[in-house]
């Protein structure tokens, strides 16, 4: 055997023994960030949430040369915008910045004023929020569950599931918004469980909830045809289902599968508007298609006809469809492909976070309104003919930022994403960009609790509910994931006071889907008015459709 071969094998043997020893001793090592003392882990940042320009300057002067302008890391120097740095506490980072680690090329910065070291940490958190799912100081789901058990009541006007109750009215204004990163940004996605034995959706006295249909496959948007049939997008199955009628015990009289083989279908609408449609339009995640349709059809009478291509499918996949009342224009909502990627530098964001306008044959596409991160549901106000949308705003700026919203949409209007939000509030992750747009940002009509995940909305035009509900908006709130104590998981009412216009308040209308801060059994998605004036609400958590009727006091 050659000497070099013996040396190589000997090295392998030594490496194997060393690996075993390292494996055995690892559990005894300090698990904290760079072996920071346990005593510093809970140390609070006295300047938490503050982002003066000097913090950015200090980072670029002291840190960027090694760690990158955006904290991306260079060579074998670790990133600060992701990885271990973002998992460390503020106290651990402050200790490490102060002490340094010369063996690993990290200088000690104890000569910097303490305030500047804390502010650099705040700026590192801003860098860490550039991508969805990379929060300021991540709360795990388990930590968030414990937070929900011991958390004090939320500061008004914000709320959480513990205080959602039918009939409770809320109103959030711009003056109520906290600073970015005022709290940790939590990863608290819901764990779905079967409906507990005694659980049932809760509504106001005088209303009744029944289980209209169950055992569905990912029921999402729901829309009523002119003849009264109800169409549901079973998005995961790539199918459109039809439900006809309501029996004496609140069940459908008949159900059929209208179309199959679709790609993540969501939006459904009938064309031309009015009592005698000739087509049904479907919003796939990458296209709009249509089928021949006449009142009463329970199955598609012909193959799908391709109408228009849409951006996608990465990121937000829902595509809703509405037509102008005169039938001359088709509106399609297209959500962003990301949390806050800059469209200036991200080609994949082209024609996304927009409402697109087409001719009904798919020609003439242009952007009707923009800067709307994820307009999931579209509806036309029958009183004013205005287009309205229900919007999921961005994540990772804290528990109470950025609010979701419901608003009418102005042609050519700019709603802020990704550089601004809620009027002239700049997202710190895009500091200094597009100052010319600040005064163009439209404040929405109704500011909802942040992270509610507002999905489909509809205008109540039935005759069953009391008169004060006529013309009001009902919207499904799918529920939060980016919040330490969850919120949403309900149906809300936006009163328009028979004027066609919102005054900013909204009301909890149907609640009861949350078990605790870690578990839920239902997640409302779509809402429509049935022919008898009741409401039908899809729930992709329990794979059901709920029916809300008014039975009197």
Tell me which fold the domain 33-128 belongs to: Cytochrome Bc1 Complex; Chain D, domain 2 (1.10.760)
The C-alpha atoms of residue 203 and residue 477 are separated, in whole angstroms, by: 15
E strands, 285-353, in order: 287-292, 305-309, 321-323, 330-334
Would you give the distance in Å from CA 398 to the centre of its chain?
13
CA distance 172 to 445: 11
- 10-residue mean pLDDT profile of the chain (553 residues): values are 38 34 33 85 82 76 80 75 81 92 80 90 74 44 71 94 98 96 83 93 98 97 98 97 95 98 98 98 98 98 97 91 98 95 93 98 98 98 97 94 98 98 94 96 98 98 97 98 94 96 97 95 98 98 98 87
Query: Counting runs of H as helices and runs of E as strands, what totals does the chain give?
Result: 7, 29
Domain segments of the chain: what residues? 1-30, 33-128, 161-550
Do the domains at 33-128 and 161-550 have one common CATH topology?
no
* pLDDT of the residue at 76: 67
Q: Are 370 and 334 in contact (CB under 8 A)?
A: no
Report the CATH fold assignment for 161-550: Neuraminidase (2.120.10)
Q: Where are the beta strands (DSSP E) in 433-553?
A: 446-450, 454-459, 473-477, 490-494, 505-510, 519-520, 524-529, 535-539, 544-550
| pLDDT, position 181 | 84
Whether the CB-CB separation of 181 and 428 falls below 8 Å is answered with yes
Report pLDDT for 299.
98
pTM score over 0.85: no
Give the model's pLDDT for residue 465. 98
The DSSP letter of residue 28 is: G
**Close Cβ partners of 88 (under 8 Å, ≥ 6 residues apart):** 32, 33, 36, 96
């Amino acid at each position: 055997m050659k000497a070099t071969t013996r040396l190589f094998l000997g090295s392998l043997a030594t490496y194997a023994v060393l690996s075993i020893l390292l494996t055995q001793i690892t559990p005894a090592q300090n698990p904290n960030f760079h072996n920071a003392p346990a005593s510093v882990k809970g140390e609070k940042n006295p300047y938490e949430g503050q982002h003066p320009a000097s913090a950015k300057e200090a980072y670029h002067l002291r840190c960027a040369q090694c760690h990158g302008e955006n904290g991306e890391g260079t060579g074998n120097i670790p990133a600060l915008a992701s990885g271990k740095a973002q998992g460390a506490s503020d106290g651990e980072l402050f200790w490490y910045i102060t002490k340094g680690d010369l063996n690993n090329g990290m200088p000690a910065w104890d000569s910097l004023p303490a305030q500047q070291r804390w502010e650099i940490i705040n700026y590192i958190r801003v860098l860490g929020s550039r991508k969805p799912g990379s929060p300021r100081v991540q709360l795990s789901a388990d930590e968030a569950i414990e937070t929900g058990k011991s958390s004090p009541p939320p500061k008004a006007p914000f709320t959480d599931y513990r205080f959602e109750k039918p009939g409770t009215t809320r109103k959030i204004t711009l003056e109520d918004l906290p600073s970015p990163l005022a709290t940790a940004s939590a990863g608290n996605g819901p764990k779905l469980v079967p409906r507990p034995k005694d659980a049932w959706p809760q509504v106001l006295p005088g209303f009744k909830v029944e289980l209209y249909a169950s055992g569905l496959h990912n029921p999402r948007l729901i829309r009523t045809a002119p003849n009264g049939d109800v169409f549901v997008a079973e998005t995961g199955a790539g199918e459109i289902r039809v439900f006809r009628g309501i029996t004496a015990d609140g069940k459908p009289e008949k159900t059929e599968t209208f179309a199959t083989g679709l790609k993540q279908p969501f939006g459904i609408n009938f064309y031309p508007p009015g009592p005698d449609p000739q087509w049904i339009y479907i919003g796939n995640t990458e296209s709009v298609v249509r089928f021949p349709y006449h009142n009463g059809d329970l199955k598609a009478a012909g193959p799908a006809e391709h109408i228009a291509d849409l951006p996608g499918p990465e990121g937000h996949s829902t595509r809703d469809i509405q037509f102008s009342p005169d039938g001359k224009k088709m509106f399609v909502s297209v959500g962003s492909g990301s949390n806050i990627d800059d469209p200036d530098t991200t080609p994949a964001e082209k024609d996304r976070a927009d409402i697109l306008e087409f001719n009904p044959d798919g020609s003439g596409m242009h952007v009707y309104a923009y800067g709307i991160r994820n307009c999931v549901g579209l509806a036309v106000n029958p009183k004013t003919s205005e287009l309205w949308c229900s919007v999921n705003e961005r994540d990772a700026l804290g528990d109470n930022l950025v609010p979701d919203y419901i608003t009418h949409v102005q042609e050519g209007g700019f709603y802020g994403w990704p550089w601004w939000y809620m009027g002239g509030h700049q997202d710190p992750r895009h500091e200094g960009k597009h100052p010319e747009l600040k005064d163009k940002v439209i404040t929405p009509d109704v500011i909802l609790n942040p992270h509610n995940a507002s999905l489909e909305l509809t205008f109540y035009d039935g005759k069953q509910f009391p008169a004060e509900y006529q013309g009001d908006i009902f919207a499904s709130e799918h529920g939060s994931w980016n919040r330490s104590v969850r919120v949403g998981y309900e149906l809300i009412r936006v009163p328009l006071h028979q004027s066609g216009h919102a005054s900013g308040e909204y009301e909890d209308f149907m609640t009861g889907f949350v078990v605790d801060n870690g578990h839920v059994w239902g997640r409302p998605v779509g809402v429509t008015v049935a022919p008898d004036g009741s409401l039908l609400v899809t729930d992709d958590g329990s794979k059901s459709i709920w029916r809300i009727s008014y039975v009197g006091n």
